[in-house]
Structure 1
Amino acid sequence: MRLLIFFFMPILILSCDNDNDGTINPLIETGLIGEWEINGRGTNNVLSLEVFCCETLTFLDDNNLRDLIGSYTFNQQGVVTNGIFTVNAEENTIEYFTENNNMNSVAYSVNNNTLEVWYLEGTNRNWTTYNKQ
């Protein structure tokens, strides 16, 4: 009997040693997690002539490693908005929910450490680009 216990004990210890089942965090896979600084803004294919300064967007993961929900901070020249965001990876959209329960939805793409978010207003495509910090 002792022989069986000594034989199975290492197997039990090793099988409990690692709770990570190899699941990849889908929110991290989107490429959104991190701090982004404004690079450009415009409507349709026209770049705005404004000076781009002091606007950052930060996405953080939550404790659930299997969902597409996290928290965000939007800082536009010292005016800070915090809230929760949800990603629809199939449609490449982000839904922002502010602390006041206001909701805003944008489409997004991430390429080479550049994030572009956009929304349609009538027939106009309003876009903003950010560089990852």
Structure 2
Amino acid sequence: MKYLRFLVLVPILMAFQCESDDPLSFDSLEATGLLGRWEIQDEIINGAISDMIPKCCEFLEFNPDDNIRDNIGFLTYTDSQGIVNAGVFEVDFNNQSILFTDDESDEFTFEFEVDGSHQNLTIDFTEDGTNYTQTWAKIE
């Protein structure tokens, strides 16, 4: 009879050990809506549309790192000539900003906003005294 109880109890205990709703498997970066591949759509420079030619062929790709508890991941920027700049990014949730450090240790900070559908990304930054606002569309 002891063995019968044991055989009945083991599967029940095993069922509780195999839950897949582990909240730790959720990467904190997923909440930002940033993860994935984005293509530039338009650019505003100092409050004016940069030109009337549609933007294309520039890409941002945000990927998580191995630590799901941090706000750090990998970012790759590819320009229209195919030149790639890769590195690490860190999200500052308080300022809604990102610090990007490329493979050559150059740092670049920009503010970001992802719309509610997670399909449009707006980034704002200043470079050499010029203010930029870029809109990116999620493609993957």
Looking at structure 1, the residues matched to 19 and 107 of structure 2 have their Cα atoms a distance apart, in angstroms, of: 39
Q: Determine if the alignment matches structure 1 residue 94 to structure 2 residue 95.
A: no
Counterpart of 1:120 in structure 2 is: 126
Looking at structure 1, the residues matched to 102 and 128 of structure 2 have their Cα atoms a distance apart, in angstroms, of: 24
RMSD, aligned CA: 2.2
SS of the residue 1:53 aligns to: coil
After superposition, give the CA deviation of every residue in 1:100-119 in whole Å (9 maximum; x if it has no partner): 12111110001141111112
Counterpart of 1:85 in structure 2 is: 89
TM-superposed CA distance for 1:62, in Å, is: 2.0
The counterpart of 1:75, out of the listed 54, 78, 94, is: 78
| Structure 1 length-normalised TM | 0.85
Looking at structure 2, the residues matched to 79 and 45 of structure 1 have their Cα atoms a distance apart, in angstroms, of: 27
Q: Determine if the alignment matches structure 1 residue 43 to structure 2 residue 49.
A: no
After superposition, give the CA deviation of every residue in 1:13-72 in whole Å (9 maximum; x if it has no partner): 112213642344321111111111111112232110174232111111222222221111
Structure 2 counterpart of 1:28, one-letter code? E
Deviates more, 1:8-17 or 1:35-44: 8-17
SS of the residue 1:91 aligns to: coil
Identical residues among aligned pairs (%): 29
Structure 2 unpaired stretches of 5+: none
| Structure 2 length-normalised TM | 0.81
Deviates more, 1:43-52 or 1:95-104: 43-52
Larger strand fraction of residues: 1
SS of the residue 2:23 aligns to: coil
Deviates more, 1:61-70 or 1:18-27: 18-27
Q: Determine if the alignment matches structure 1 residue 9 to structure 2 residue 18.
A: no
Count of residue correspondences: 133
Looking at structure 2, the residues matched to 44 and 57 of structure 1 have their Cα atoms a distance apart, in angstroms, of: 22
SS of the residue 1:67 aligns to: coil
